[in-house]
Structure 1
Amino acid sequence: MASLRGKNGYFESCSTYTDKENYFLVDSRYEIIRVLGKGSYGVVCSAIDTKSLSTGLEHKIAIKKVTKIFTKDILLIASLLDSDIVYVKPYDGLYCFQELADLDLARVLYSNVQLSEFHIQNFMYQVLCGLKYIHSADVIHRDLKPGNILVTTQGTLKICDFGLARGINPKFFKNRTATITNYVATRWYRAPELILSTKNYSKAVDVWAVGCILGELFGRRPLFPGKNSHEQIHELFKVLGSPPPETIKKYNWKVEGISWVKYKPVNWTSLYPFAPNEAIVLIENLLQWDCKKRLTVDEILAQDFFKFVRNSSEEASSKSPFDFSFEEKSCNLPQLKEVLEEEVNEFTGICHIGQ
């Protein structure tokens, strides 16, 4: 145990953890249990907040260490309980202290757990309540998928991983518009306009992903499991049928090599024979080729499919759009690092280890 921070902002004591591949350095109040997983940008471990033990309740949390924070400008950060930046190697990185969720929706989907109609209604309603708040802040998540929806043992769902999220409120973007980037949305849940077009996109890309997830909950398998972008479009054609010529022309889509084959749409009832009619109607209205024909989140929440689980008094909206203007001010890694440090300081009111 080391002493790296005191009244001047350093930890009075801290502890380290390693499994010979991953290295963590945290305040001694946290007792790291084990590494849970490793991804492209970081490592997640489970830990106990030992201060909670004095209350007689063991409070488990997740700690995500974003290891490439100083070399990459894409971050995956969920809701935070605390945060810190460590510069001491090999422990260096951005540390995100988060609520520990037991599962994600992908693990639930591909488990042996039987999902009733009520389960699906409740799960989707929670996702949509979260999405309503996100969209009310003029933010597009852009990467909604079962793996980015956390599930607790109490059945509470939370949307996470906002690393690809973008703000679209024009007052924060004087020099640019919200254009599509190459790295956006996991392929299976990617709206057709993200594959076929280079034009601006809208909140409807998240609505498309919701439709894919709803279908996956009933079918227990991905709806459009393409192995590459060309095959992904082919998967859409096989289920939805060929897009109307007027839609192709309207959005100037590039569909060479497949547009000459005329596909008929699949009957949703035959695809999901156990789904109620209200769910079939909803899926049809979410998975529309034309993004402007898809329902908004508010319209989705008003559908009959949610009439037994909806509580409109608990559906929160943001009071103001989220300010993404920092992206215009931060054009390179040193500037992004400075913004990140300011955010961590504001969040915690402390200095950084080893700077």
Structure 2
Amino acid sequence: MESFNHSSDQLLGSNKPNYVVYDKANFYIDSRYQVQHVLGKGSYGTVCSAVDLKSRENVPLAIKKVSDIFTKEVLLKRALRELKLMRYFKGHKNIINLLDLDIIYIKPYDGLYCFQELIDYDLARVIHSSVQFSEFHIQNFFYQILCGLKYIHSADVIHRDLKPGNILVTIQGTLKICDFGLARGINTKFITKGSKASQITNYVATRWYRAPELILSRKNYSKAVDMWAVGCILAELYGRRPLFAGNDAVHQITEIVKVLGSPSKGLVDRFSSKMAFDFFGPPKPQYRAISWDHIYPFASCDAHALMTNLLCWDAEKRYNVERCLQDIFVSKCRDLNNEPSCARPFDFSFENQIESMNDLKKLLHEEVESFKSDRINFGKKL
């Protein structure tokens, strides 16, 4: 791949005469966007609310600046994946929408700027609020998650980090899945054997929502890891707190055992890991499962049945997203018009081109420029 170097204009910012600085967040953005407030800061960077002054009625939006992106390979890879996936899934009402992109090389403002829909809440905040949920509220929330996940899975993509904090909730009650930084394409058509893209790490997903096959080091995993996370979210919608809140990997498995009981010997053998054998092998005691109606007595029998079929040790027996959509639990909310599938699998073969940080920088730059070009061309058609 050809060497990628930033031009002096890019580095000095002299090709950006309409840009302004927002000092409180070290933002350097197009003057069409007026920053309102800093919403949050974390290891990834900073998020601010803003308005688009060139839009009708000054449309509100969120600007996420990913910092240190040019020095940390893991952040660069996650950003590239996320951008490609957000563009690929653009338009689905249950997936966050990317409105604009920019990339700045001038310190201390350097970073990737993602302009997204401004959504006031995430599902974690809603769950832990004092707002009361009816069973229909839970069914509706759960159904929307399934609709977004169906679209993602139909593209042969695993999200790998589904949790309430990565599901946004609008004032109108629309749920949108976000944060695709850990997502991976799994269609074998795009995997070159022995390439980095074919090497799928098992250290993914926030621990509390991590499927047991990930914790127990099963080498091959599937879309079922997302379905486990969805089951955890369903339980949390009823209990208003995480179901399996482990402090580390061993504690996490212990918390799962307390509810599901011990896995079968055959399944432990299939996990084929030292950790699984050490934890469950003889002469370790066997534990029985606790019934869902004991844990969530106020939930319906249909909810209990769905939890049973999502939160099970055996990934192969876990319901997939299509089976969940057919379940009686969401029948009152179901509208087939809200359940589109992606037309084709996501092409992640670009990962086979990555051999260095320079390659990553070039691909990210190309992605941003391609997005901005598409946005300009779309605007001309309106």
Whether 2:72 is the aligned partner of 1:48: answer no
Matches within 5 A, 1:1-355: 10-19=15-24, 22-52=25-55, 55=56, 57-72=57-72, 73-74=74-75, 75=78, 77=82, 79-176=97-194, 178-181=198-201, 183-253=203-273, 254-259=275-280, 260-349=284-373
Q: CA deviation at 1:178?
A: 4.8
Q: Is the 8 A contact 1:43 1:64 kept in 2?
A: yes
Q: CA deviation at 1:99?
A: 0.4
Q: CA deviation at 1:331?
A: 2.7
Q: Is the 8 A contact 2:62 2:117 kept in 1?
A: yes
RMSD: 1.8
Q: CA deviation at 1:250?
A: 2.3
Q: Is the 8 A contact 1:122 1:309 kept in 2?
A: yes
- Please give the secondary structure, in 1, of the residue aligned with 2:101: strand
Q: CA deviation at 1:12?
A: 4.0
- CA distance 1:126–1:41, shift in 2 (3 Å): same
Distance 1:47 1:340 in 2: 24
Q: Is the 8 A contact 1:83 1:347 kept in 2?
A: yes
- Please give the secondary structure, in 2, of the residue aligned with 1:101: coil
Q: CA deviation at 1:68?
A: 1.7
- Please give the secondary structure, in 1, of the residue aligned with 2:276: coil
- CA distance 1:82–1:185, shift in 2 (3 Å): same
Q: Partner amino acid for 1:105? A: L
Distance 1:178 1:349 in 2: 31
- Please give the secondary structure, in 2, of the residue aligned with 1:81: strand
Q: Is the 8 A contact 1:179 1:200 kept in 2?
A: no
Distance 1:311 1:198 in 2: 36
State how many pairs are aligned.
340
Distance 2:343 2:97 in 1: 19
The Cα offsets for residues 212-265 of structure 1, whole Å up to 9 and x where unpaired, read as 000000011101000000100101111100001111112324334542021110
Is 270-279 or 175-184 further displaced after alignment? 175-184
Distance 2:198 2:218 in 1: 11
Q: Is the 8 A contact 1:179 1:199 kept in 2?
A: no
The Cα offsets for residues 261-314 of structure 1, whole Å up to 9 and x where unpaired, read as 211101100100110111100000001101000011000000000110000122
Distance 1:275 1:178 in 2: 41
Distance 2:167 2:288 in 1: 33
Q: CA deviation at 1:198?
A: 3.7
Q: CA deviation at 1:328?
A: 1.4
Write 1 or 2 for the structure with the bigger share of helix: 2
The Cα offsets for residues 132-161 of structure 1, whole Å up to 9 and x where unpaired, read as 000000000000000000011010110000
The Cα offsets for residues 183-233 of structure 1, whole Å up to 9 and x where unpaired, read as 410000000000112411100000000000000000111010000001001
Q: Partner amino acid for 1:63? A: I
- Please give the secondary structure, in 2, of the residue aligned with 1:310: coil
Distance 2:198 2:164 in 1: 25
Q: Partner amino acid for 1:169? A: N
Distance 2:138 2:221 in 1: 28
Distance 1:182 1:332 in 2: 22
Q: TM-score normalised to the size of structure 2?
A: 0.85
Distance 1:16 1:199 in 2: 47
Q: Partner amino acid for 2:124? A: A
Contiguous gaps of at least 5 residues in structure 1: 351-355
Distance 1:138 1:127 in 2: 17
Partner of 2:88: none
Q: CA deviation at 1:180?
A: 4.0
Q: Partner amino acid for 1:171? A: K
Q: Is the 8 A contact 2:218 2:272 kept in 1?
A: no
The Cα offsets for residues 63-104 of structure 1, whole Å up to 9 and x where unpaired, read as 000102102233354631000110111111001000011100
Q: Is the 8 A contact 1:242 1:265 kept in 2?
A: yes
